[in-house]
Amino acid sequence: MKRPALFERVARGAGLLPVAVFTIASVQGAVSSRLEIVRYQAARTGYQAAAQSATSVEDQVPAPAGVDFTLWSEGRIRSYQDSRAEEGCRPQALALLEIPRLGLTVPVLEGTDELTLDRGVGHIEGTALPGECDNVGIAGHRDGFFRVLKDVTEGDTIALVTLWGTMRYTVEDMRIVEPEEIQVLDPTSAPVLTLVTCYPFYYVGNAPARYVVRARLTSEGQ
**Residue positions annotated with a catalytic role:** 141, 198
* Beta-bridge partners for 170: 157, 216
Length of the chain: 222
Please tell me what DSSP assigns to residue 191: -
What is the signed CA dihedral for 148, 92, 190, 2, rounded to 10 degrees? -80
Contacts made by residues 61-64, CB under 8 angstroms, sequence distance 24+ = 61/34, 61/37, 61/105, 62/34, 63/30, 63/33, 63/34, 64/30, 64/33, 64/103, 64/104, 64/105, 64/106, 64/145
H helix runs in the chain, sequence order: 3-9, 19-45, 48-52, 74-85, 114-119
CB 124 within 8 A of CB 5: no
In the chain, the N- to C-terminal Cα span, in Å, equals 32
